[in-house]
Amino acid sequence: MNSYEALALSYDELTQDVRYEARADFVEKLFARAKIPVHTVLDLACGTGTMTGILTGRGYELIGVDSSEEMLMAAREKAQALKGIPPLFLHQSMPELDLYGTVEACICCLDSLNYLTRARDVQRTFARLKYFIAPGGVLIFDVHAPQKLEALRCFWTNGTMYTASGARSTASAQKRSTTMSIFSGFATAACGSAALRSITSAPTRWKS
């Protein structure tokens, strides 16, 4: 059993405290600020498809993309009970995103972009999103900033990151810093500074 298969089996249980409906409410407010009507939505790194399902139930047409077949299997199973247009699920990595057409909005929730640890993967992901989000559309995402990682009791020693348990990360401090800079730069280019301010304030609104 690989790590994603094990995670897929327990992912919904591990995220029971996530207020998905509240997130969807906030996301819809940002949809309303788009310069074009939002109907087709990309759920990037959709996982087991909880947000995909909620937005499908609210009348949107969803495309769910994830790099884990196990996560997508769970998402497809949950989608069988949905009303509305059935979501389309695609097995793709974020940097290799390839859709059949454009969408009016993309969401990427629960810090999924933090799984990209190489700067070039972050760059390519945002380049692909810029290509597939229609002009006037919106990109909505959240990430763990360095301050959040510090709050999770991660610490650096001689350029190496360790967790509170003593586990060692292979990513360098410089690489993490560069990646976070790219998040900010490409997000501003894709969404505009005003939209970025709204997006980065979202986590405080989602707390229980």
Please indicate, yes or no, if residue 48 is contained in any of the structural domains.
yes
pLDDT value of residue 185 = 45
Which contiguous run of DSSP H or E holds residue 51?
helix 50-57
pLDDT value of residue 141 = 87
What phi and psi values does residue 184 have, to the nearest 5 degrees?
-65, -45
Please indicate, yes or no, if residue 190 is contained in any of the structural domains.
yes
Please indicate, yes or no, if residue 175 is contained in any of the structural domains.
no
Q: How confident is the model at residue 90 (pLDDT cuts 50, 70, 90)?
A: very high
pLDDT digits 0-9 by tens, 29-44: 999 999 999 999 999 9
DSSP designation for 86: P
Q: Which of 12-16, 51-55, 87-91, 185-189 has the lowest mean pLDDT?
A: 185-189
Higher-confidence position of 128 and 20: 128
Q: Taking the chain, what is the end-to-end CA distance rounded to the nearest angstrom? A: 33
pLDDT value of residue 154 = 46
What is the C-alpha separation between 53 and 12, in angstroms, rounded?
13
CA 191, distance to chain mean position in Å, is 15
**Residues of the chain above pLDDT 70, percent:** 61
Q: Residue 83 sits in which domain range?
A: 3-144+180-205
Please indicate, yes or no, if residue 21 is contained in any of the structural domains.
yes
Residue 58 pLDDT greater than 60, yes or no: yes
Question: What mean pLDDT do residues 91-109 have?
Answer: 95
Please indicate, yes or no, if residue 151 is contained in any of the structural domains.
no
Specify the pTM.
0.70
pLDDT digits 0-9 by tens, 143-163: 766 666 566 554 444 444 444
Please indicate, yes or no, if residue 74 is contained in any of the structural domains.
yes
User: Helix, strand or coil for residue 64?
Assistant: strand
pLDDT value of residue 143 = 79
Which string of b and e fits 160-198 if b means at least 16 CB within 10 Å? ebeeeeeeeeeeeeeebeebbebbeebbeebbeeebbeb
Residue 104 pLDDT greater than 50, yes or no: yes
Q: What is the CATH number of the domain that holds 135?
A: 3.40.50.150
pLDDT value of residue 157 = 46
Please indicate, yes or no, if residue 164 is contained in any of the structural domains.
no
Measured from the Cβ of residue 44, the count of other Cβ atoms closer than 10 Å reads: 26
Question: Are 200 and 148 contacting, i.e. CB atoms less than 8 angstroms apart?
Answer: no
Find the Cα–Cα–Cα–Cα dihedral 56, 105, 89, 185, rounded to 10°: -140
How does the average pLDDT of the chain come out, rounded? 74
Please indicate, yes or no, if residue 114 is contained in any of the structural domains.
yes
> How many domains does the chain divide into?
1
